[in-house]
Structure formats: structure tokens, C-alpha cells
Structure 1
């Protein structure tokens, strides 16, 4: 085995390590680190295990395996059965194992009279709130298939109640993607079904999943453990939920937009009082209270985990101070009346005293991270130093719901630092670094060559200095991405770091990186965020903004082109003007190079790659007058994005 090879030459080392691709066992250092967790945290506190079972009605059908119309599995709860009733193995942080066992409890539950949830059918929960005649659905999961199974299970026990309302608490895909599994859009358009969302919902949902969507989705394949097996040496979920379904992502635009605090909407005999929470867990988010049921939801701002102030898949950094203030406002508004707190993740909290205590603990968690990060930054500590020094006080750290299963104290601290101070820490030596491949070659040269780096790294690996070994071998792999010995040792190192993590996404990133180093990039099923419904709901201005993102600046340099775009079906007319290597849109121009007349649906097809402009011209759904060569020249400048780019080794130089 790799761990016991000390004196072999590098060539012999390669001959041994290249053979096996299986995950390795936990080392002595990892076993020691995980054993220490059992002594440090209050594992005797079993209240969460009582709460997770409260109100249970029935388990998910088919052991939680959900398939699409083609018979492909889009969700499989049974994949996590390996954790049922067992102690944490050496390859797992016991705290994360505890969270996995809680999240594996799944099925239909009564939250309170008139409120039901299906949990464990996707990354998030789907909630059913009963009115006089029908039901209001909160946050219908990622996929239409999983949402439909949730609705069917609810109706099995509560009758065939019509869906009369849908609430999107915020703009993330796991809170709207399954909407077509529970309602028909024609019922929304007819006014039979209200769809309620916070201000800015469509813009934020679309921009996050499209503008930087290719990059974000690739990283999400690591974050959510899509590429690694679900077992004690693989993914244990995310801490927020078990994983992401891979079914049909849908979207129906809101009919009712919440634009101010205190705004109320009546649906089927129930009054919903709303409070906006923009810039918290999502750019567009809201809390609400139902007076008749004495029930409050803080959306995804109060959970049974420390959440992300910066998500490892990549998104806008979140405002910890605002996040905390929204929880404070929730207590001030409804804290004296609320008897149950429920959300789109995890399990509810019951009893007024417990609800207020939970909201306070979560409020103060984000406030502490915000305030103490700024305190240390004002003492002159940089982002990495601040994160290394950050430690929660016991009254926050020992509260199970504040543990770092999804967010972490370390990367949330760095998020706060970056939110206020940006990427640069003020040290000019770090202002203009070489890119990884070039820097790696110089580091390896300074360290005496690859063989010497590997010998020293192996020594530190055996000593359990995994963080340092990962930093060093990252330089070597950046310099020599085909050096399989370095890749294997870096993979072993990331694996041990993964085994020690309390944080689900950190574990998934480390273990996914190890797999990719050993096996290369593997194309496996992942959620598709830029789905047809996402594109269809994209405002035309955002559509043009995305074309500007696709524009290859080097190819566009020196070109001056102008086109008018006419969309008769929606009665809209625009120009697209290319100059200075940039694409802008505006009012139609007098002398365009060409004019394109088509409908919005055809533009969507072109956007999705299901048809080309020439296809649409040929079938008559698009007409071009003017210089068609100029139009073809422009279309040839628009990049397409490869999804499976390298995450743990350098990518090749971009094509000009």
C-alpha cells in the first residue's frame, strides 16, 4: 500500500500507486482526529432525534427511489441506508455522521394542525399548508418528479386537495424547480393558482443559474457529491440535505410579488404576513407568518446547521449583518406569537420558548461571525489568519443547530472578510501573483525538483500534516498535471482531509477532488440549472446580457456590427450593437447590418442549443433582411461553454 512505501524510488512508487484507484482507509491521524470529536461535543443530547420523528405519518414509497418518465433514477434515498443505527466509522467525522442519520429520517410528517411536510425526497423539504378548500405549497423541491411524489404522498393521507397557491421563499433552484410537478401553468394563468415570491425572484433565479451557471454547476457537482459514491468513504450528503435530484427542473413565474415588509396575501382562507430578507441566504428571500396557525417560517435563514455566507459552488457573498438583523426582526415581529417554526430544510422547532431560543441562537451565530471578523480585520489580520483564529463561544458552538455541516466557521469567516474587504489583503507581494501553472513550475524548481517534493511530501503525509501536503502538491500538480505519482499522493491527502470534515460540502469537495485526480474527469449525472423553463422565464434584457457574456472579446476586437431584433409575438424591438469588443442592447438603430424577425420561443431554442439561427431561417420561423454574412460573423463569435472543465488540474489555455 502507498502508506508504507518510504524508501522506494519515485519510479517504483509510481508502479505501485498507479494500480489501485479505490479509496484508502483512515490513517492513524484521521482516526485520532475523529475520535476527539466524540469527546468534544454533547452527543448525549438526543432531542433532535426525538424531534425528527415527531408527527411521522408514512415513509416515502419505493424506499425513496424516484424515477423519471424514461425510467431513469433521479433520486434514491435508499443509497444512505448504510448509516442506519450504526456508530460512525473511522472515515467519518462523528458529528457529520449524526447529521446524516437525522437527515435520513424521511417521509410525510404533520408539522402542526394544517401543516404537513415531505422530507428526504430531495435536497429540500416540500411543505403543504391547508386552507379552507385546498392547499398552499411552499418550496416545491428541485425536480418535477420529486415534487410530484411528495404531493401524491400528502394526498394519500389528506385527500385530493387542489393546489391553490405556491410560495417560493427564495430564488434558489431547490425551492422552485419542481413546480410543474404540482401545478399546471394554465391554472396559474387563469388565476386559479397564486404563485407568490419575493421581489427580484425571477431576475435572481435566472441570473444565478445562467450568467455564471456553467462554472457554478461544475463546482456544484463537487459540492453536492454528485460524482462520488454514497458510502462511509464517499458522500454523506451536504449537511443541509442529502443531495440533489437530477430530474426535470421547471419554473413558473410569480403572479404575486412581495415588495414591502408587512405585505399580506390571503390564500384560501389563510393570511400570510411577509417580511423581506434580501441579501441574506439568497439575494431574493422572504420570511412569513400565518396568524391562524401561529406558524412562522424564516425560509432558509434559520436551519439546523451553520449556513453558507459564501457557498463553495460560487455565488454572491452574503451579508452576515443583514442575515442576523432579519432573524432579529422576525423575533420582534412574531416571536411572542409563534408556536412552531418550520423551514424548507431540516425539521421544525415547536413551542414558543424553543422557537425564540432557536432564532436567537441562529441570529447571534451570524452576528458573531460578522462582528468578530471585522474586529480581527481591524487589528490587521488578513483573511486566512482571521479564519484560522475564529472560534465560536461555547454557548453558540455547543448548540447542535449551529454546527458547521453546510457552512463552516472557517469559510464563513473568509466570506465576511471578503464581503467588506475584497480579495486583496493589502500585502503588495500578493497583489500580482503568477497563475497556478507558472507559479507551480517555479515552486517545484525552488524545492529541488519533483522527486524531492514527493519525498518530502510523503514524509509529511505520514506525519499527518495533510493541509500542508495539499498546498505543496497543488504546486507540483499545477506544474506537472500528468505526474500520476503526485496526483495519487495529493488524492490520498485530500481523502484524509475529507474523512475528518464535519462539513458536508468540504468532505464532498475533498473526496471528489481525490477521485478526479485518480481517475480523471468523469461525466456523470448532475442537475441542469439552465433548464428550458429557466431560459423561457428569462427577461429579454437578461437574454441579451447573456449573449454579451458569451461574446469572445478577442474575436470581436476591431469589429463594428449592428442588428435590429424584432419579436412580434411579444411586441418588442431591440438593437444589438457590437463595438469596442463589447455587445450592448438598446432601441432599434436606423441603419443596421441586418434585421432579424422571429418569436421569443425561437430565440429560446437557439439559446438552448436545440436549433441554430439557420435552422429557424430554413423552417420559416425566423427572417433575416440585410447582410446575412454579418449576422453569421457575429454568431460565430459567441462561445459555448464546456461543462466538464478541470477542477483540480490546470485547464488548457483558452482558444482565441
Structure 2
């Protein structure tokens, strides 16, 4: 309807903004942090080296150009070489040795043979791309985040396996790192002609296009912390995200599926190979599926059985996942195919070979999620709240000593809180916590009760020197919330978060702590982040979803007392609606009999406006938009739509600019 309706989600504009050059010195690891990290060396089986053999198995060729993949303008969208600092090196004091080990594994990249007819390109993006060779061509599974990285991976595969045509693409689930690069491996005309199938689980499209839109601005901002996009790649910065290194920053694309898998047991014959499917909705993704190829004795559990404890709640923000169902899907995979599979391959990490190892891995992962589900509920039923349960939860040795169950991406702590929240919500039953004050107001009272800022900082310094970083962070968060310009408080809070980051086994926790420390010290730097709400995403959004998003953008207080009705006709897709504003809520219905005005616009022109490639006024001037009736009511409705600023502060309650930082 107007450029700003979705524009703020599209980060392409923001990516062109200059960065603030405010880089500050990072601290070394403290004595407490060094000791904490050294304990890890004694607690885990570092002498078990099978993963280091498996990660190299089947290696054919490295990524070309030293692992740098560029876009059409020559700018890098992926740089594997930036993560090579860990290879062959002993973990430094600023790194948890377990996370360092994981980085050494996931920074291995290139083309690999899984079996004689399955090949993978790994570490060319956050995820893997798999090539399954049929009788006449190749079936691509999960084509990465960006068209550029997927294209480079396909070229590397063809360089060593011949120029096999792509005959099908399989999306195992609805997250962007499993479909975003599709136009790098196939042309849409090939799909429309029927030469290429696009196979996906039921509800894939609606889940793929909705997750990054409704709460997309908030989610993407947190993702910039989660994936370490804003911090350095070195022993004091990001060590990857555990599941993969980081997210590529190329062009996110999407082609609508041609074949939908709707039920467990469904079978498809694709280029001479038989695919048996198992539905796994509401596990790692809202729409997800496993499959088995009997001719190749190969099984994939999509992202539900990788070499890490996964997220039951992702720190970027998303719906909480169902640990019970997750475990059940893995158990069903075992029951159906465990005795038949000789290899388990996944869109992250490295495969597991051998029937015994496949069964063991699936069992260990199955029981990991079942243990977290069952034991969290056991503690909840004893009366422990969410935070208490998370603090009490430990895995038994038979699960915790298995490397693939370590918390590199999910963690035992926040997954326990996820299970608790899934069943019981945000309130723990204590009425003193039912109606908390907001952070700034509460922070001011805390500071007053604790004798003022100077007294808090003095005591916090003492606790920091004693290594009580969690407490220092908790206390100073109150002070910074009350006094966001207090430089001493910000710096000491940053120091505490930094040491917490250095100790983390979990890659995303480390990235969050270190990103928070950077923002406290330097303010907000506008750096490249992935563009997930891309042109293809918008074009594939059902019109109803766009109108739902307009309702989210509506400023309710400003809309109070206003009544507007507008009929909208989209002739190119033969759709007719009315947007009706009343009770400070925007609904869409069938057309009404007496609207304030009627708008006729092609859906393709609406897409242009939403993507910011044209304005409403330009479309009216060109005759692409026709308005009958009171056009002022349309202008009024548009004026009630909020714009979302992507670069909102995560660790301070109010925006901080360079001048205010310097002044403080």
C-alpha cells in the first residue's frame, strides 16, 4: 500500500549506512575464567577423536578462492577463511575448550562424498547443501541461505561430478538456511515447465514466509547478536554458532513447492530413487520432515539429529518447540529405518556412518530431548519455577559425555526454561512476580535502595574481582536501566558479560554476551546482517498474511475512535477484500457495500510498493493504482502505520548515539 509498510524489515537500506567507528579494547581472560575453562578439559572426553576422522571422511576438494564467495557486485557474502584461526591451535584462555573443539570441526569445508551417490558441500554457509544423484540428474537437499553460496556449491559439485542437471529440490523444513539459495541451483522456468520438482513438507510455504515477517524486525535484531554478525572473528570474538559458523549475507530466494508431503508413510519416486517420508511438524521447525532412501540405505532426520543439543527455544526469538514430539519423531525414525540405514546425513555438521553408529546417535539424541522434557516437568511438579528448574537440570553422564549432545547451539539451561514455558507459560505462580515494574522504573528504585550508583559500582567491582560475573551482570543491569549514560556502569557490565562469554560452551550464548559487551562500550554499529524478508518472500506471501501484518503495523492508540473501510481489488490474482478499521483494530473481510473508497491494484504492483522499488504515488501517477471515492481515507489509514527501526538497543533501555556516549 505504501513503501514503508514492510520496508523496515528489508535490511538492504540499512546495510548501506556507514558504521560508527567506536571499537574498544577487549579484556583478556580473567583468572576465574581461565580456571573455569581449564576444568572443561578434565570434564569431557577430549581424547575421543572419531569426530575429527569423520569430518574429513570423503573429502574431495576445498571451497575455491580460499573460501570467499562473492555476489555479482564483487562483495563477499561468505568467508570461510575468517574462521581458520582455530585450526590446529590449542584453545586459548578466552575460549571454552569444548566450543573451540566444535569450531575446529565446523570450520572444515569443501566438497565431500557421503556415499557413492550422496555428496555434500559443507561450511559454505550456516548449513550444508546435499546432492543426491539419481538416474539422470541430481536432487538437491536444502540449498543454503543465499543464492550466491548455493550456486558456488553446485559449481564445485559439478566440477568434480560432471554437469548433471538438477531434477528436484527438497526443502526438509521451513527455516531460511534450507531454502534461501534455491535460485542458485535452479531456474523458476524449469520448475514451471515441470522439469524440476520442488518437494516440501505440508505448511512449508506459510511457515517460511510468516516467521520472518510478523515479529521479523525484533527477531532479526536479536539474530544479529545470536550469530555474532556484529563482533570480530577471533579468539576474543565469535567462535561460530555451534550449529554452523555464521549466516551468509547474500540474496535470499524462494520458489514455491510443486509437491507437498502431507503424511508419514508417503512415498515419492524421484529420478529412479524412492523417498519414504516421515512428518515431524513442531519439532525444530513448524514444518519439517525426515526421509529414507532405501536404494542408498541413507536416512536424514533433517535438523532434528545433528552434532549438538539443539534449541527448544531459539535466542533470536520464535515459538517454543515441543521436546516430547521431537523425541517421538526420532524414535519413529529409529523404528522405521534404524535397522536399514547405513548412513545418517543432515543439513548441518557431518554424517554418521555404520548401522550401529546411526542407531546409537538417534537413540542418544532421542533421549536427550525426552530427558529434558520429562525432568523439567518432574521439577515443575515438585513446585520449582522456571529459573530454579534450569539451574538444577544436569544431564546424566551417558548423555552429557556424548559429544553430539553438548550444548553448542541449544543449552541445557535455556532448553529447560523452554520446556517449562511450553507447558506453563511466563508466570511461575508467585504473585510478587505477576505484575513486575518495567526495567527503567525498577532500576531507579533498585539504585535508590542500594545506596546510589557509586555504592553499587564499588561493590560490583569487588564482586567482579571475585569472579561473580553473573551477579555483577544482574545488579549492573538494574543500574544501567536506571542510568543508561553511566559510563562506569556500562563498562563494568560489559566486562562482566565479556568474561561470561569467554566461558561459554554454547556458541550463541557467547555471541550474545560478547555482542552485548560491544554495544555497551561502543554503542550500536550498523553492520551487515542477513536479509531474510526478501523479494521472493514477499511475492510468495498470501494476501491475507500481508493484511495481517498491516494489523501489526497499525498504531492502536492513534487509531482510537477512527472508522475506515476500503475495498481492495487485485485483478491479476482475482482477489477481493475490504480493509475495515474499527475499535482500533484492522480487519480484512469480503468487500463491503459502502466503503469510504475502493482501490484497484495488481498484486505485482503491490509487491513493488511493499519491496520499496516503487511508491504508491508513483503507481497512482502511472495509472497502476485506481482509487474511487474518498482517497483521503486511504491516506489517513496509511498515516496510522508504524515504522520499525531495526537498530533498537538490546542492552540499554534508551537509544544511545555517538554524541551521548562521548558526553558520558
2:296 equivalent to 1:307: no
Could you tell me the TM-score, scaled by structure 2's length? Answer: 0.95
Q: Distance in 1 between matches of 2:623 and 2:369?
A: 56
Gaps of 5+ in 2: 1-21, 657-664
2:167 equivalent to 1:164: yes
2:199 equivalent to 1:193: no
The equivalent residue for 1:632 is 635
Q: Report the alpha carbon displacement of residue 521 of structure 1 after superposing the two structures with TM.
A: 0.5
Q: Distance in 2 between matches of 1:625 and 1:614?
A: 15
User: Contact between 2:23 and 2:522, CA under 8 Å: does it hold in 1?
Assistant: no
Q: Give 1:202's match in structure 2, choosing from 179, 191, 205.
A: 205
The equivalent residue for 1:496 is 499
Q: Distance in 2 between matches of 1:470 and 1:248?
A: 38
Give the ranges of 4+ consecutive aligned residues of structure 1 lying more than 3 Å apart after TM superposition.
none
Gaps of 5+ in 1: 1-18
Structure 1 residue matching 2:495: 3-state secondary structure: helix
2:103 equivalent to 1:100: yes
Q: Report the alpha carbon displacement of residue 20 of structure 1 after superposing the two structures with TM.
A: 8.5
Structure 2 residue matching 1:209: 3-state secondary structure: coil
The equivalent residue for 1:154 is 157
- 1:190-339 superposed matches below 5 A: 190-339=193-342
Q: Distance in 1 between matches of 2:538 and 2:72?
A: 22
The equivalent residue for 1:527 is 530
Q: Report the alpha carbon displacement of residue 612 of structure 1 after superposing the two structures with TM.
A: 2.5
Q: Give 1:142's match in structure 2, choosing from 145, 151, 155.
A: 145
Q: Distance in 2 between matches of 1:450 and 1:612?
A: 50
Q: Distance in 1 between matches of 2:130 and 2:654?
A: 43
Q: Distance in 1 between matches of 2:293 and 2:589?
A: 44
User: Contact between 2:283 and 2:325, CA under 8 Å: does it hold in 1?
Assistant: yes
Q: Give 2:577's match in structure 1, choosing from 568, 574, 577.
A: 574
The equivalent residue for 1:15 is none
Query: Which shifted more, 135-144 or 595-604?
Result: 595-604
The equivalent residue for 1:554 is 557
User: Contact between 2:291 and 2:299, CA under 8 Å: does it hold in 1?
Assistant: yes
- 1:46-125 superposed matches below 5 A: 46-125=49-128
2:595 equivalent to 1:592: yes
Q: Report the alpha carbon displacement of residue 510 of structure 1 after superposing the two structures with TM.
A: 0.2
The RMSD of aligned alpha carbons is 1.0
Could you tell me the TM-score, scaled by structure 1's length? Answer: 0.96
Q: Distance in 1 between matches of 2:645 and 2:272?
A: 49
Q: Report the alpha carbon displacement of residue 609 of structure 1 after superposing the two structures with TM.
A: 2.8
Alpha carbons of structure 1 residues 20 and 64: separation in structure 2 relative to 1, 3 Å: closer
User: Contact between 2:577 and 2:591, CA under 8 Å: does it hold in 1?
Assistant: yes
Structure 2 residue matching 1:239: 3-state secondary structure: coil
The equivalent residue for 1:179 is 182
Structure 2 residue matching 1:287: 3-state secondary structure: strand
Residues 319-371 of structure 1: CA deviation (Å, up to 9, x unaligned): 00000000000001111101100000000000111001000000000000000
Q: Distance in 1 between matches of 2:394 and 2:619?
A: 59
Residues 420-455 of structure 1: CA deviation (Å, up to 9, x unaligned): 000000000000000001100000010000000000
User: Contact between 2:128 and 2:347, CA under 8 Å: does it hold in 1?
Assistant: yes
Q: Distance in 2 between matches of 1:546 and 1:605?
A: 16
The equivalent residue for 2:14 is none
Structure 2 residue matching 1:210: 3-state secondary structure: coil
Residues 539-567 of structure 1: CA deviation (Å, up to 9, x unaligned): 11111111111111111111111111101
Q: Report the alpha carbon displacement of residue 605 of structure 1 after superposing the two structures with TM.
A: 1.9
Q: Distance in 1 between matches of 2:619 and 2:651?
A: 40
